[in-house]
Amino acid sequence: MNKKNTLKVFLFFVLFFPLPIYLTLFPHKHQFGLLTLFYLVNLILVFFILRRASNAINKIKRKIGDEEEKSNILSGQNSKEIKTQSSLKEKISRYASLKKIIEDLNSSLSTDVVAQHLVETAFAMIAGSQGTCVLYLIDSQTNSLRLYKTRKEEKSVVIKAKQGDIFDYWVLRHASPLLIEDTAKDFRFDLDKVKTEDFREVQSLISAPLLSGNNFLGVLRLDENRSNVYSQEDLRFLVTICDLGAVALENSLLYQNTQELAIHDGLTGLFTKGHFLELLKIEIKSSIRHKRPISMLMLDIDFFKNYNDKFGHMAGDLVLKALSASLAEVIKERLGIVCRFGGEEFCVLLPGQNKPAAMETAELLRSSIANINVLLRRQKTKVTVSIGVATLSSDIADEKELIMIADKAMYAAKASGRNCVVGAK
């Protein structure tokens, strides 16, 4: 109420308030009408005052409501800003650590070490060391996934799906990352159709492929038995880690393959002569130190030149492969070491076997190889070998002499008519 209205009200009360007292002291013929008018005017005035007061109160309430709304908006914005700042700090922290992640991943050419760094990094930096982290690598022989590394919050959790589950094969098939907030609500997967003994209960997960160019190396996955655990930002960071990890993994696998090629014969898959000689030195020293026997077999394919002359060099390769497979299978059970010594010659080391045992093994090898049927130009062809046996004794100076004695015994087998076993005297 402004000053002008206040003055009007004041004058009204000064002029009209004494009226009932005046009429009481000095009765008037129009007393009733005047009193009625007086009270009516008073009622109108009270209504006017109450209305103005109500309007003023409502105005104040609206202002308070507006201020509260502004306050709520500001509070919401402030809360959002705090979350954004926290998210940004987490992003900055994560991506600032990329340099160390790269250094760790490239610190070794061992596939096992690189894989361990990958799993540890994803588990700690994304999952907060909660839930489960699983790394599958592609098996080059079967072209399927195989479990390689795990990191678990609960040690009792068992990963039964050694070759992955529907989620892992979705990533493998699409070669793209996967985010599932709640498996029960994800229309892409019908869990009722695939639940088996191997199926592990998972409610949320993120998974990304390990890709290097067009080369699919494996799958790195984080999962939880709670829903809505992972975000798009978590998935993006996992993809970044996998991109870096794929390069390091490919380098380690190439190095591993190079190492394998250096010690394995490219045609037969057996050890090379150079690597075999290194192992031979170690095994002989171990045998001498522990006073245990060790024997060696020297094998040569009978009339090998005839296979090449009659069927061609490709046929010779088939014979070598078939014989190598038979050798490896028999010797594997006896914990022996087999190598392609050169051309059509093979050498077998038998730690722990004395001469009688070695002669028995040699005879088993000879008969097994003699039963092989090699198909050359649609003809079933038999293969035979001549085997010389030598056993380490105090008369033998070193590994070179042992090889020489075994070789001499092999030539004695050839001279005896081939397809037989001769022991060194």
Could you tell me how many residues make up the chain?
Answer: 425
Angstrom distances, CA of residue 193 to CA of 174, 176, 190, 335, 423: 21, 23, 6, 45, 63
For the chain, the 3-state helix, strand and coil shares in percent, each to the nearest 5, are 55, 20, 25
The Cα–Cα gap between 114 and 106 comes to 7
Look up residue 375 and give its two tokens. Answer: 């198909």
Spot the catalytic one: 224, 283, 344, 399: 344
Query: Cα(284)–Cα(406) distance, rounded to whole angstroms?
Result: 15
CB count within 10 Å of CB 307 equals 22
Q: Does the active-site annotation cover 360?
A: no
**Do strands 385-391 and 421-423 pair parallel, antiparallel, or not at all (unpaired)?**
parallel
DSSP letter for each residue of 286-326: HHHHHT--EEEEEEEETTHHHHHHHH-HHHHHHHHHHHHHH
**Residue 138 CB coordination number (10 Å):** 19
CA 417 to chain centre: 58
Q: Which residues are catalytic?
A: 344
